[in-house]
């Protein structure tokens, strides 16, 4: 870890080196390690240490961006010069007004020393428990256990300086018999909270019960979606609909619908980068404090997230959801929460006369963005539900269904929620389990 003072030295150097009208610098330092296991042993085990510096310079309305992971004085000078040279070649951006001015940023404690200093032996111990339990039950263990410490800082020549250190641990496992598999995962700021026994039990129990699956005809079914599956829904809503850029480009399902009821009245979804019990980041990559943004409130569409560019287009303030410049994706909700319901998870099955239990979704992709129509597979534990009880393991289904329709057909929302880390989007999500009617399966795997 570099520490706040060292990072401030870097940002100060960059700001001093730049002769631009306005300058922004982002520093992202990461120390991460990941232990991977398959066939019930560790087959890959890695650690990585990196510091990235991204510089955005503004000359009038011309903007250039350059980045490097070399933080030596010469390299910083070179990166600033590259950004300047690019800006000189740039066309003017008539929409650009200014980099953000300083605002008060909330400090959120999210750094656990013991996670940052977690050793390869400690990770091996956790993995060892998972593999040992698997062997004892005659199943095969696979998965990964990662620990990460990050420092994110944003500074600009208008006086912004934002710094946030954070840690998280993420462990996931797939347990396999010859014909079935089960899944479990856990994410927390504190690596010591990982309970290998509990994770192993959850995944092994499911793998054993999922063995010798039968094929069921595809069609529309009531589904019990575990939190792992609901996570995927939140990812798609975040990507396809909950952003100002998607609205401005007429491709969000919320376009023209703000203030209208678009989901079941029990559904409330929001973004909160400051929530201390997730994996917070209290400011965005322009150094703007993250606002809590409610997307859906009791089924009513309320708002979407903005960065400076999309906000200025509509004459409103940024909500603090920018990604690093230059950013073609637009703003992005990194911390999506779905509100819990009032039904204990273990009682949600009772109302299902005939339906399908889905542990998680796999390889999901949008088929029609405006309808939030998504296709994908079920994976690692798909079961038939009859008369309120899980009765038989099923072969995995392909589904092609509208996630928007699904959240209009909610029968129950669990009282419990689960925290997830999404490695591809550097994002965290909190999801409950759901019972949904009319979920459309369109195929079965061989």
Partner 1 sequence: MKDITARALNIAQVRGAAYADIRVVSRDTQRIAVKNGKVEALQQDETQGFGVRVLVNGAWGFAASSRLELQHVEHVVTQALAIAKASALVKARDAHLGPPVDITESYETPIKINPFTVPMNDKITLLLKADEEMRRVKGVKVTRAEMAFVRENKLFASTEGSLINQEIVESGCGIVAQASDLQTREEQVRSYPNSVGRHQQTRGYEFILEQKLVENAPRVAEEAVALLSADQCPSYDAATIILDSSQLALQIHESCGHPIELDRVLGSEAAYAGTSFLTPEKLGRFRYGSEFVNIVADATVSGGLGTFGFDDEGVPAQRTEIIRNGIFVGYLTSRESAQQLGLGKSNGTMRADGWARPPIIRMTNVNLLPGAWEVDALIADTDDGIWMETNRSWSIDDKRLNFQFGTEMAWEIKGGKKTRLLKNATYTGITPQFWQSCDAVGNEKAWIVWGTPNCGKGQPPQVAHTGHGAAPARFRNVRVGVIK
- Residue numbers 167-186 binding partner 1 by CB under 8 A: 172-174, 176
219 binds partner 1 (CB under 8 A): no
- Residue numbers 344-363 binding partner 1 by CB under 8 A: 362-363
146 binds partner 1 (CB under 8 A): yes
* Cα 275 to Cα 441: distance, rounded to the nearest angstrom: 36
How wide is the angle at C-alpha 154 spanned by C-alphas 152 and 155, nearest 5°?
Answer: 145
Secondary structure of residue 362 in the 3-state scheme: strand
CB of 255 or CB of 392, closer to partner 1: 255
48 binds partner 1 (CB under 8 A): yes
End-to-end CA, the chain: 49
271 in Cβ contact with 309 (< 8 Å): no
Q: Which of 67, 201, 298, 312 binds partner 1 (CB under 8 A)?
A: 67
Secondary structure of residue 14 in the 3-state scheme: helix
How wide is the angle at C-alpha 445 spanned by C-alphas 145 and 229, nearest 5°?
Answer: 45
- Minimum distance between the CB of residue 266 and partner 1, rounded to whole angstroms? 24
- Minimum distance between the CB of residue 159 and partner 1, rounded to whole angstroms? 25
Q: Which of 97, 179, 389, 445 binds partner 1 (CB under 8 A)?
A: 445
CB of 40 or CB of 156, closer to partner 1: 40
136 binds partner 1 (CB under 8 A): no
Secondary structure of residue 37 in the 3-state scheme: strand
Cα four-point dihedral sign 372, 374, 379, 383: positive
CB of 6 or CB of 369, closer to partner 1: 369
367 binds partner 1 (CB under 8 A): yes
- Minimum distance between the CB of residue 387 and partner 1, rounded to whole angstroms? 29
233 binds partner 1 (CB under 8 A): no
211 binds partner 1 (CB under 8 A): no
- Minimum distance between the CB of residue 407 and partner 1, rounded to whole angstroms? 17
443 binds partner 1 (CB under 8 A): yes
444 binds partner 1 (CB under 8 A): yes
Stretch that binds partner 1, among 86-94, 100-108, 109-117, 156-164 (CB under 8 A): 86-94
Helix ranges (DSSP H) in 241-307: 244-248
- Minimum distance between the CB of residue 380 and partner 1, rounded to whole angstroms? 9
- Residue numbers 377-406 binding partner 1 by CB under 8 A: 377, 379, 396, 398, 400
36 binds partner 1 (CB under 8 A): yes
438 in Cβ contact with 405 (< 8 Å): yes
Q: Which of 144, 160, 384, 435 binds partner 1 (CB under 8 A)?
A: 144
Secondary structure of residue 121 in the 3-state scheme: helix
127 binds partner 1 (CB under 8 A): yes
Residues 6+ away with beta carbon under 8 Å from 373: 366, 367, 400, 401, 402, 403
69 binds partner 1 (CB under 8 A): yes
197 binds partner 1 (CB under 8 A): no
- Minimum distance between the CB of residue 34 and partner 1, rounded to whole angstroms? 5
* Cα 196 to Cα 206: distance, rounded to the nearest angstrom: 16
- Minimum distance between the CB of residue 344 and partner 1, rounded to whole angstroms? 29
Q: What is the largest CA-CA distance in the chain?
A: 72
Size of the site for partner 1 (CB under 8 A): 92
* Cα 339 to Cα 234: distance, rounded to the nearest angstrom: 12
* Cα 189 to Cα 140: distance, rounded to the nearest angstrom: 28
Cβ-count burial of 395 within 10 angstroms (0-12 exposed, 13-18 middle, 19+ buried)? middle
CB of 38 or CB of 208, closer to partner 1: 38
Omega before 326 cis (within 30°)?
yes
How wide is the angle at C-alpha 410 spanned by C-alphas 381 and 305, nearest 5°?
Answer: 95
Please give the backbone phi and psi of residue 259, each rounded to the nearest 5 degrees, phi first. Answer: 90, -10
Q: Which of 10, 139, 143, 227 binds partner 1 (CB under 8 A)?
A: 143
* Beta-ladder partners of 420: 429
331 dihedral zone (left: phi>0; alpha: psi -120 to 50; beta): beta
Site string for partner 1, 399-438 (x = CB under 8 A): -x----------------------xx--------------
139 binds partner 1 (CB under 8 A): no
369 binds partner 1 (CB under 8 A): yes
Q: Which of 3, 12, 73, 95 binds partner 1 (CB under 8 A)?
A: 95
């Amino acid at each position: 870890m570099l520490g706040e003072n060292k990072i401030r030295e870097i940002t100060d150097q960059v700001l001093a080196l730049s002769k631009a009208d306005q300058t922004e610098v982002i520093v992202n330092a990461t120390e991460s390690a990941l232990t991977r296991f398959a066939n019930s042993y560790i087959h890959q085990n890695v650690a990585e240490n990196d510091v990235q510096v991204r510089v955005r310079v503004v000359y009038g309305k011309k903007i250039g961006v350059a980045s490097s992971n070399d933080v030596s004085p010469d390299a910083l000078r070179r990166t600033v010069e590259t950004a300047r040279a690019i800006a000189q070649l740039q066309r003017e951006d008539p929409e650009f007004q200014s980099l953000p001015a300083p605002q008060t940023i909330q400090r959120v404690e999210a750094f656990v020393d013991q996670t940052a200093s977690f050793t390869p032996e400690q990770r091996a111990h956790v993995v060892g428990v998972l593999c040992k339990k698997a062997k004892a039950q005659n199943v095969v263990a696979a998965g990964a256990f990662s620990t990460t410490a990050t420092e994110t800082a944003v500074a600009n020549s208008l006086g912004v300086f934002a710094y946030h250190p954070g840690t998280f641990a993420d462990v996931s496992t797939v347990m396999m018999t010859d014909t079935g598999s089960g899944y479990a995962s856990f994410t927390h700021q504190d690596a010591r909270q990982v309970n290998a026994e509990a994770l192993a039990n959850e995944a092994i129990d499911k793998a054993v019960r999922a063995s010798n699956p039968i094929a069921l005809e595809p069609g529309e079914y009531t589904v019990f979606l575990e939190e792992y599956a609901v996570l995927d829904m939140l990812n798609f809503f975040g990507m396809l609909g909950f952003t100002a850029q998607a609205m401005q480009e007429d491709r969000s399902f919320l376009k023209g619908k703000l203030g209208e009821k678009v989901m079941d009245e029990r559904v409330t979804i929001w973004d909160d980068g400051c929530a201390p019990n997730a994996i917070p980041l209290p400011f965005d990559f322009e150094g703007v404090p993250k606002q809590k943004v409610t997307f859906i409130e009791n089924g009513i569409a309320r708002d979407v997230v903005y960065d400076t560019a999309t906000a200025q287009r509509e004459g409103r303030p940024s909500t603090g959801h920018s990604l690093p410049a230059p950013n073609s994706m637009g703003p992005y909700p990194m911390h999506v929460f779905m509100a819990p319901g009032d039904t204990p998870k273990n009682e949600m099955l009772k109302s299902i006369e005939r339906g399908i239990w889905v542990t998680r979704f796999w390889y999901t992709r949008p088929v029609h963005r405006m309808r939030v129509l998504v296709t994908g597979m079920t994976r690692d534990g798909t079961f038939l539900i009859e008369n309120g009880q899980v009765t038989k393991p099923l072969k995995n289904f392909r589904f092609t269904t509208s996630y928007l329709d699904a959240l209009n057909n909610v029968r129950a929302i669990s009282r419990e929620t689960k925290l997830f880390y999404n490695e591809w989007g550097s994002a965290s999500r909190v999801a409950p389990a759901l019972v949904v009617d009319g979920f459309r399966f369109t195929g079965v795997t061989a």
